Structure 1
Amino acid sequence: MSGPATGKATEIANKAQLVEFAESGSKPKENWRIGTEHEKFGFNLETLEPLPYEGPSGIRAMLEGLQRFGWQPQYEGDNVIALTMKGHSVSLEPGGQLELSGEALENLHQTCSEVHTHLAQVREVGDEIGVGFLGLGFSPKWTREETPIMPKGRYGIMKAYMPKKGDHGLDMMFRSCTVQVNLDYGSEADMIKKFRTSLALQPLATALFANSPFTEGKPNGHLSHRSFIWTDTDPDRTGMLPFVFEDGFSFEQYVDYALDVPMYFVYRDGTYIDVSGQSFRDFLKGELPGLPGEKPTLVDWDNHLTTLFPEVRMKRFLEMRGADGGPWRRLCALPAFWVGLLYDQGALDAAWDLVKNWTAEDRMQMRNDVFTEALQTKVPDGRTMRELAAEVLDIASAGLKARKRLDSFGEDEVHFLNALKTTVETGITPAEELLSKYYGEWAGDIDQVFREYAY
């Protein structure tokens, strides 16, 4: 979940500017980049409790400690709420989850190096202050009441608004973690094909990365509980976006969708102004009840786009949002999966051929089944998601091989898919591995997940 966008405040005169804003993300293929984001739960190594903001083993201490590596602090009032350095940032999610928003990089070797460097820095500081970090899709132990709220103005607004729209919005905010990748498009036609293909295949990503089987110390009946909570968070801003597959889908149609998603806030002079439930269309006309007579800027629009949470989100790039947070190797595997499918034309064509005949009902059925069934979910042709995954991973491997992005040892990017190939070969998702340990060697002791799976 991003912080507020900043920059030149160009006033928006009409909807056409918003369409142009989306279209301005189009880039020639040689300029396509990979931006990876991942979140993780911080915990006290001694007590296994979540991290408060203040205190010697708190989030502020972590952010201050990381500054030794050259990170520059960003403040909201007197509170450090983010760090920035050369095109990437470390920021806070509502419940203290720490997020790396990575730099826009040329290849997966760079992406994985970035992840490794970040986790090494986090580990160094964490060891000094008694803090560890865990990569799961959902908090395995803590209740909502035990989970702190970070001192960012937008989170107070969202905390008040979320329960009006669904039963699990606060779980999404405070107790979930994901890994995401942001990818470019070359034109409107390229955006459409990538959007449709990736959106149809998000349930497959959910299955492969399923890693959230526990709630408050016990199995919750799901393999991806993080995915489940999105089904009852806020129907206005979540879901599988069936209109993306309709004839005539375009940048303009996505803008129309975004205009109709109720707002959360407007950011002015370092302060979040609560306009929750109000309309950006009214804002365009200068008729926003929360700011009467004022018209929005492109910065306001960019901020509004960060409050939309569909399974694939478009800003001036496409953001893949279907995967649970997980261990180190999977933080590299998620971008490898989507780069392999979307950044090579042959792979993209092959992936689209697999999904192009699925109906909206097919896609929604898979979306609703996958958080429980994962790789055993049925796909429209009667196969299991596991069988589909084997075919899709072959396509992704071919796409990565065709890119010919080699490291200093002459190795291409295909090996970053190995963790996913192992999952398909064994049929065991990360969640099922955790459950096997829980019922076996852990003897129902959820504390063991912190000891065995921390970064």
Structure 2
Amino acid sequence: MSIPQSGGGLIEHDGQLAEYLASGCRPREQWTIGTEHEKFGYSLKDHLPLPYEGPCSIRAMLEGLRDRYGWLPVEEAGKIIGLSYKDGANVSLEPGGQLELSGAQLNTIHETCDEVNEHLREVRSVADEIGAGFIGLGAAPEWTHEQMPVMPKGRYALMTRYMGQVGTTGTMMMYRTCTVQVNLDFASEADMVQKFRVALALQPVATALFANSPFFEGKDTGWQSWRARIWRDLDADRTGMLPFVFEDGMGFERYVDYALDVPMYFVYRDGKYIDALGQSFRDFLKGELPALPGEKPTLSDWADHLTTIFPEARIKKFMEMRGADGGPWRRLCALPALWVGLLYDQASLDAAWDLCKGWSAETREHFRHDAAKYGLRANIAGRSIRELAGEVLGIAEAGLKARARPGAGGLVADESHFLSALQETVATGQTLSDELLAKYRGEWGGDLSRIYAAWSY
């Protein structure tokens, strides 16, 4: 999850909220790619999640990365809770100690994949020394809630307390899920709207293609993506498929209206998180926030609030695609390839919109459910998701070839080969969850502890 935002003075009029989003508009030649991915750390000795403190711990990981590779520490209340780097990348902690790389804004998928490789090599080198491992899955396969550590971040203490009041699976999401996502740019309000609609409508395709969480608390859940299942009952005020995005009048101001109706979590002041659970940013704008009577918000407060909204795709000064399970290395490069191919070439963007523009809100919601439950065996609007995914990948491949961004010293003509793992999934009809279930029921003999050696980085 996000680190506290900074920069931006007092909000003097409500129009600044939409202006903040619009300030992210960039011309096509300046569009970049930012990839984020989370992973579970565990002790090689007993396969239990890493605690925050101790010789084999999250703190030891962060300090090792800091000392060996020049990362700068990010601290809260005197404790290291993240890392930053001069290129704009940062390492942060999810509530249960999941380690997240928020990558720099890069120009090509070749570059972002190199970044992933370097990060995982660094993590592996430190983890080997302290007796830890890291695994890429959408949900923790065996651990119970009671076994999860709690990271020393004030934001998470507030969220944990609130989750039980608004849903049934919030703490599961916080402590026992991992995702991979990509952050992309838009050129204008109209470009944002078209991309947002495609991103939301086709997010379930990503959920199916990246499904990698069939287990939870040691059992086969019956879902291809248990992570996506968890998100369905988390908090209706801040999750979902956002039907209003597909309505006439959608734009930055309409998203602001939505975001203002999402209850607040906190206000960040002087290194501390002030409890504003369930309070209204609209009241904050009027100087009537109970948590800070008489005080009005800054643009940093607005930026922080936007990080507490969790739909399947969301906008800030850029757009985030949020529907995929965490996974192995090849999938960490495949996700940006999928969405860059669909959204960064106008012909491909138009073709993708043609696929889904006739779907109703009800159809999109059923799609979201069925992709998580059945993966590529689901259907939408009379056709299989597997068939649809194949067509989506074809559009993405065409978009990447049209971009023609070479890599490897010019030996690789474009970025389309990063889709190969997904193309193989469609060709075989077997998701990562299917592969895991086959091993679990076959060669592993129902011994889920074998997942660590088989699936770790």
TM tier, shorter chain? over 0.9
**1:200-219: CA deviations, max 9, x gaps?**
00011000000000011111
Matched ranges for 1:85-104 at <5 A: 85=85, 86-104=87-105
- Give, in whole Å, the separation in 1 of the partners of 2:415 and 2:424: 16
Give 1:409 shift.
Answer: 3.9
Which residue of structure 2 aligns with residue 246 of structure 1?
Answer: 247
**1:311-341: CA deviations, max 9, x gaps?**
0010010000000000000000000000000
Q: Return the letter of the residue paired with 1:28.
A: P
- Give, in whole Å, the separation in 1 of the partners of 2:223 and 2:438: 14
Give 1:376 shift.
Answer: 1.3
Which residue of structure 2 aligns with residue 443 of structure 1?
Answer: 445
Which residue of structure 2 aligns with residue 270 of structure 1?
Answer: 271
Give 1:372 shift.
Answer: 1.1
- Give, in whole Å, the separation in 1 of the partners of 2:456 and 2:41: 9
Report how many aligned residue pairs link the two structures: 453
SS in 2 for 1:145: helix
Which residue of structure 2 aligns with residue 391 of structure 1?
Answer: 391
Q: Return the letter of the residue paired with 1:225.
A: W
Which residue of structure 1 aligns with residue 35 of structure 2?
Answer: 36
**1:364-386: CA deviations, max 9, x gaps?**
01111111111111111x11000
Q: Return the letter of the residue paired with 1:405.
A: R
Q: Return the letter of the residue paired with 1:376.
A: R
- Give, in whole Å, the separation in 2 of the partners of 1:374 and 1:223: 6
- Give, in whole Å, the separation in 1 of the partners of 2:290 and 2:61: 39
Q: Return the letter of the residue paired with 2:229.
A: F
Give 1:410 shift.
Answer: 2.6
Give 1:78 shift.
Answer: 1.4
Identity across aligned pairs (percent)? 64
2:36 pairs with 1:21: no
What TM-score comes out, normalization by structure 1 length? 0.99
Matched ranges for 1:365-376 at <5 A: 365-376=366-377
- Give, in whole Å, the separation in 2 of the partners of 1:25 and 1:442: 49
- Give, in whole Å, the separation in 1 of the partners of 2:373 and 2:256: 33
- Give, in whole Å, the separation in 1 of the partners of 2:31 and 2:207: 25
Could you list the runs of 5+ residues in structure 1 that have no partner in the other structure? none
- Give, in whole Å, the separation in 1 of the partners of 2:311 and 2:12: 27
- Give, in whole Å, the separation in 2 of the partners of 1:117 and 1:400: 24
Which of 408, 417, 420 is the matching residue for 2:419? Answer: 417
2:172 pairs with 1:181: no
Give 1:6 shift.
Answer: 1.7
Matched ranges for 1:424-439 at <5 A: 424-439=426-441
Larger mean CA deviation between 362-371 and 238-247 belongs to: 362-371
Which residue of structure 2 aligns with residue 83 of structure 1?
Answer: 83
Matched ranges for 1:46-445 at <5 A: 46-67=45-66, 68-85=68-85, 86-380=87-381, 382-407=382-407, 408-411=409-412, 412-445=414-447
SS in 2 for 1:104: coil
2:455 pairs with 1:453: yes
Give 1:14 shift.
Answer: 2.0
- Give, in whole Å, the separation in 2 of the partners of 1:14 and 1:438: 57
- Give, in whole Å, the separation in 1 of the partners of 2:363 and 2:437: 29
Give 1:58 shift.
Answer: 0.4
Could you list the runs of 5+ residues in structure 2 that have no partner in the other structure? none
Find runs of 4+ consecutive structure 1 residues off by over 4 angstroms: none
Q: Return the letter of the residue paired with 2:159.
A: M
- Give, in whole Å, the separation in 1 of the partners of 2:411 and 2:356: 34
